[in-house]
Structure 1
């Protein structure tokens, strides 16, 4: 097995080329340079492992559906987990009220609460968007899928804010129909605290034949998802290997045991719990990114490895450039 942690300088020395589009990429698995094989389209499928990206990674930048697509092309990302706002705006959803800027609280003080006016506007928006979701045609979602697919980007996951305990069954059903219209096989959502909610989501998912990937943070444990797996064959894990390491666990052990229940995996580098748990540039933490990617390749696991950019972006860079560096790191890790 390859060395656990390669230095950033050694492993990412050619990342500038990645940002420029990998015009001098090394030979692909089948011998042809990637840029010839894909006729200028992005290609982040390396040695059988689909490297993807959650569009949350671009949250520091303007994020319309068209802009997100361009970021994917610039970063050589060919598959994504799409956050809800851009897709719903493209499809004509009501506009959400703008949350007012509030100063950060002083140390030890509670976070300022939004105004009653904003809370009322949010409640009104919730009613409007629920009604829109219950009746909207899937045509615009299908058009969005085509726009992305034509450019060489597939959508494997959809994460709208429509899967919570306060959302209606009609909204949840909409989320899954929209996911299918986008070409995704899964919706993703933060892991619910209620087993009744995982049962509810799993039942609606089974009717739609769309997986629900439950995402975890530091609450992740080896058996966190097990009860939901029993509830529905369409309940799955949107596993986060970086958070799992920061929680004090070994992601390789989890993947070996639960790979058949993983619908997608968030990929990042974090320090271990013992070392503080910080999000760091890939190659500088304690997360076995290289080993995990090669484990997926060796065993031909079919879930995508989703880049989630959470480390601090350097002042001379931006989210697109940093995602491109992560893509290049993965490519080199997989020997593509």
Structure 2
């Protein structure tokens, strides 16, 4: 009986990766639950990552994405739509959208064969979009809950969700689907590119109120100090997905003042190191650009701002490295800045 019990204990620990854990840890179930899990909450500042950062990795499934996240040491994420949606059963497309784009750009220079090919590709894409719409209308939200549980068991929480569901051409049903999926994933907000359309931000804000989901708008170098003001005034469910790197690249010098003013409406902050407009705007390895990342992180710590700083890997990955290693590098940079 004793040997059998020891075998079962060792088997359970082996599954959890704890066979070689210290003896004191093996006897502490509450500690075992969090052993060897990522923790990117550093001195009160939640460092997160958008899973877009792993776009260059070969497997884009939900399971592989989780492995990239945990291997990077990240414990909270902004999740892109595809991994979660395919996990939940979204139809998979084999359509070459790049080819549709390239052929469409040729305009009147298309050959007869190219015209026929483009027509066929567009018909296939229309049929696929109808299949996706039907899937969204009937998807079981428990699938998204299952994904949340899988990520949570690995030590990863999902604070934001970014599916392709909130554009001006999306129906109210599409938007409702995206917000319900985000809630099932445990997210506090959804993110999208700012549509530069006041009527649409009003629409999203009101739907956010209905479904109790905050909509956080992302910007690129069009960001300004007042960029989000109209959307924020329209609804308490409209918020900011500030991008600190793009803001610096736009040439602004009032980023700290913006954060201090709007910190209650900032849901998450994309963090990257870019050069200023005067210096060429390049995306660089952290520490080589002009984004004051250490100052921003320490300001968040000192003021106890609760929104996460989201690592977004956009610089060129060095030869011999990969996205996981580079996100790790960014996290180490944050750890040093906050130590």
Q: TM-score range by the shorter chain?
A: 0.7 to 0.9
Match of 2:69 among 57, 68, 72: 72
**CA-CA distance at 1:321 after TM superposition:** 0.3
- 2: CA distance between counterparts of 1:160 and 1:37? 31
* Paired position in structure 2 for 1:247: 250
**CA-CA distance at 1:169 after TM superposition:** 0.4
**CA-CA distance at 1:36 after TM superposition:** 9.2
For the 8 Å contact 1:252–1:292, the answer to whether it is kept is: yes
* 1:315 to 2:319 alignment: yes
The 5-angstrom pairing of residues 1-336 of structure 1 reads 38-61=34-57, 62-99=59-96, 115-250=118-253, 251-335=255-339
| Uncovered stretches (5+) of structure 2, i.e. residues with no partner | 1-30, 108-116
- 2: CA distance between counterparts of 1:54 and 1:112? 34
**CA-CA distance at 1:38 after TM superposition:** 4.1
| Uncovered stretches (5+) of structure 1, i.e. residues with no partner | 1-34
* Higher RCO (Cα < 8 Å, 6 or more apart): 1
**CA-CA distance at 1:281 after TM superposition:** 0.3
For the 8 Å contact 2:95–2:124, the answer to whether it is kept is: no
- 1: CA distance between counterparts of 2:34 and 2:336? 18
- 1: CA distance between counterparts of 2:32 and 2:43? 17
For the 8 Å contact 1:212–1:235, the answer to whether it is kept is: yes
**CA-CA distance at 1:100 after TM superposition:** 5.5
- 1: CA distance between counterparts of 2:72 and 2:252? 31
- 1: CA distance between counterparts of 2:160 and 2:146? 16
For the 8 Å contact 2:95–2:125, the answer to whether it is kept is: no
* Paired position in structure 2 for 1:10: none
- 2: CA distance between counterparts of 1:193 and 1:101? 25
**CA-CA distance at 1:111 after TM superposition:** 5.5
Q: Would the alpha carbon gap of residues 111 and 77 (structure 1) be closer, same or farther in structure 2, given more than 3 Å must change?
A: farther
- 2: CA distance between counterparts of 1:227 and 1:324? 37
SS at structure 1 position matched to 2:149: helix
What root-mean-square deviation, in Å, do the aligned CA atoms of Structure 1 and Structure 2 show?
Answer: 2.0
Q: Would the alpha carbon gap of residues 37 and 50 (structure 1) be closer, same or farther in structure 2, given more than 3 Å must change?
A: farther
Deviations 1:107-164 (A, max 9, x none): xxx9558933222222222222122112211011000000000000000000000111
- 2: CA distance between counterparts of 1:84 and 1:240? 19
Q: Would the alpha carbon gap of residues 68 and 277 (structure 1) be closer, same or farther in structure 2, given more than 3 Å must change?
A: same
For the 8 Å contact 2:224–2:252, the answer to whether it is kept is: yes
For the 8 Å contact 2:245–2:271, the answer to whether it is kept is: yes
- 1: CA distance between counterparts of 2:83 and 2:288? 32
When Rg is computed on C-alpha atoms for both structures, the one with the higher figure is 2
For the 8 Å contact 2:76–2:159, the answer to whether it is kept is: yes
**CA-CA distance at 1:194 after TM superposition:** 1.1
For the 8 Å contact 1:97–1:118, the answer to whether it is kept is: no
